[in-house]
């Protein structure tokens, strides 16, 4: 089973393939930053530090929100940003919640 780890901590969570990151971690007691949980507000943004290839590609809703957040907050496009409420896991991933 894939593992989702949080950078800078010893926290690591076993999740099912194609689980949504936010839901899988919340079910195990880990609360990531969030807002609408629908992929529209961008409050649940995380930076993927390792394993970006182990996520399904972003949906249109997720990609549009990521693009808007990058523009508004001037986040470098080389940083791999995803929304924890939309990103689905295929393999091991290490993430860093963004404020």
**Number of domains within the chain:** 1
- Map tokens 């007691």 to a residue: 29
pTM of this structure? 0.95
Query: Whose structure tokens read 């969570």?
Result: 13
The predicted-structure confidence for 16-32, as pLDDT tens digits, reads as follows 999 999 999 999 999 99
DSSP 8-state assignment for residue 25? H
Range of the structural domain that residue 90 is part of = 3-97
**Mind listing the pLDDT tens digit for each residue in 48-98?**
999 999 999 999 999 999 999 999 989 888 999 999 999 999 999 999 999
Give the domain CATH number at 28: 3.10.20.30
CA distance 4 to 9: 12
């Amino acid at each position: 089973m894939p593992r989702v780890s949080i950078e800078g901590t010893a926290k690591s969570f076993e999740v099912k393939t194609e689980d949504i990151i936010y839901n899988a971690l919340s079910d195990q007691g880990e609360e990531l930053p969030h807002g609408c949980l629908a992929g529209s507000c961008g409050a649940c943004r995380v930076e993927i530090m390792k394993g970006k290839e182990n996520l399904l590609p972003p949906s249109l809703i997720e990609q549009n929100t990521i693009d808007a957040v990058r523009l508004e907050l001037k986040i470098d496009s080389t940083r791999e940003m995803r929304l924890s409420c939309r990103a689905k896991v295929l393999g091991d991933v290490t993430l860093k919640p963004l404020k």
